[in-house]
Each structure stands twice: as structure tokens, then as C-alpha cells.
Amino acid sequence: MIVLGCDVGALATKTVLLNNGELLGWDITPNVGRLGQVAEESLSKVLRKTGLTLEQIALCWGTGWGKKYIPYPHSPENLINCLSRGARWLWPAVRTVVDIGGLTTTVIHLKEQGGILEYRNNDRCASGTGFFIELAAQALELPLDELDSTASRARGRAHIGAQCAVFGESEIISHVNDGVEPAEIVAGLTYAVGLGAATMVRRLGIVPDILMTGGVTKIRSVVWSLEENLATKTCLPDCDPQIVAAIGAALAGADGLQGQVAINRITGDPS
């Protein structure tokens, strides 16, 4: 049974296709333009990659803050549930999920059996998120994929202490005007983002295994900062860490479809 999961996030829309627990294909499309059109574009891309048609998909489930903009028929699912389900499927031993996304950082503690025990979102503007990092990269005139290599050349770390994305950008611009080396500014930026996420984890309690998800996780120096501040190692999924919630949405769809099949068998409904 082929099921689709779509996660409409703050900065990108992610679409995945699963077939009986196997990841068939996925797509990540930046949110440029109307979100409904972006969701359609992402769906078209993943269908082309897999050679499938929409008629072959049994169920579609959506999640993320923008799930209401998904234009095709779908069932909605809570983002926390999807992150937890996707993380557990990818890493069965996970007890803590740290998701650093476009506008939010989320920490989820899971029970040993996999249920949600507790979770927390950041509550200070967009500080420490993908949006903050994009603003900083623009101020430094650096591509996002060069942040790690730039930070690796730093001989020190510039202090980035603002707890607001806008003020943080101003702080970075001040460092630039003061002649601070870009490498030291980037090193300070990624360290601050990792520190912020680590602080959230400590508030809930450090429970390994810790799985890192979300687009910011692709910036390895952020993950290293979190590990340094928690004095523990983290884990990464085998797939792109940005599609974990979309996987969770597809898994929710598979659960719903299997449940419907079971009900149909009991009632004798042949559909």
C-alpha cells in the first residue's frame, strides 16, 4: 500500500512516498510563492522520481504549520506526533528528538516504548532556527553550504548572544563593521544555535539516544556545538534529516489505512 506524507514547513515543503514500510522517494521544495502551488510542485517531483501516479497512492496525510494549504485531499496530523513517529521508525532506540527547523526548535522526549512523554518548543522569536541562520548568511554574503567550511577556519568564536533573530542579525552586522573575521562570526553563530538547542534539551533532561532532525541539522558545526554543550554524542537518520516529519505523516497514513482494512474485514465491506 503506497501512502504519501507531506510536511509544509516554514521554509520548505517535504513530500515522501512509502510502500509497506519502504521509503520509495522524497522531495524537498523551498516555499517560494503560494504554498498550495509549492505542495503540488513537490508532489509532482516525487511522482516523477518514482515513476508513480497519483492514482496509485492509497492515502495522503499532511502535517506542518502550513498543512491547511495542501491542495489535494489529505488527512491532517499533528507535527509533534509525526516527528516522533518518523524518528522512532528511523531510529528505534531514540528517546530524545531534537528538531531544528525553519522557525522553531522542538525537543521531544519519548517513552521507552515510543510514546510521547513530553515536548517543548522554543519561545524566543526565531532565534536559533533556519530563518535566523539564513539572515546571518545573507548578512555575511555566504551560501548556506559554506558555513561549515568557513567555521572550520576560525581561530576563535565571536560572541552571538541575542535571543531574537532580528537583534542577532544586527549583532552580526556589528561584528562585520568591527572587522571581525567572517570565520569567527560563523563559528560564533553555529555555536550559539547549538547552545540554544542544548539548553532546551537540558531543561527536559538528557536521555540518549538523541536523534537530530530538521534542516539546520545539515550544518554539522551546529550539531557539534550541541554535543559539546551536552557532553554527549547524538545520532543522525540515514535519510535526509529534513524529511522526518513527512515520513511520520506517511506512517500515520499507513496506520489509518491498515486500520480501515481491519474494520472492513470485520464488517464485510469489500472496499
Domains and CATH numbers, the chain: 1-91+239-271 (3.30.420.40), 93-236 (3.30.420.40)
**Across the chain, how many H-helices and E-strands are there?**
8, 9
Q: What is the pLDDT of residue 167?
A: 76
Residue 98 bridge partners (DSSP): 107, 212
Q: What is the pLDDT of residue 270?
A: 45
pLDDT tens sequence across 99-155: 999 989 999 999 998 899 999 998 666 667 888 899 889 989 999 999 999 999 999
C-alpha torsion sign, points 236, 115, 7, 205: negative
Tell me the backbone φ, ψ of residue 149, rounded to 5 degrees.
-65, -35
Q: What is the pLDDT of residue 265?
A: 34
Q: What is the pLDDT of residue 114?
A: 81
* Residue in the block written with cell 537518520: 237
Name the DSSP letter for residue 227: H
Instruction: Using CB atoms within 10 Å of the CB of residue 50, give its burial: 0 to 12 exposed, 13 to 18 middle, 19+ buried.
Output: middle
Contacts of 267 (CB under 8 A, 6+ apart): none
What predicted TM-score, i.e. pTM, was given to this entire model? Answer: 0.91
Kindly provide the residue ranges of all beta strands, DSSP E only, lying in the chain, ordered along the sequence. Answer: 2-8, 12-19, 22-30, 59-63, 75-76, 96-100, 105-110, 116-121, 210-213
Q: What is the pLDDT of residue 254?
A: 87
Residue 3 in grid coordinates? 501512502
Q: What is the pLDDT of residue 133?
A: 92
Q: What is the pLDDT of residue 21?
A: 86
Residue 100 in grid coordinates? 531544528
Positions of the chain with pLDDT lower than 70, given as ranges: 123-127, 162-163, 256-271
Residue 143 region by backbone torsions, left for phi larger than 0, else alpha for psi between -120 and 50, else beta: beta
* Residue in the block written with cell 539572515: 135
Report the greatest alpha carbon distance in the chain: 75
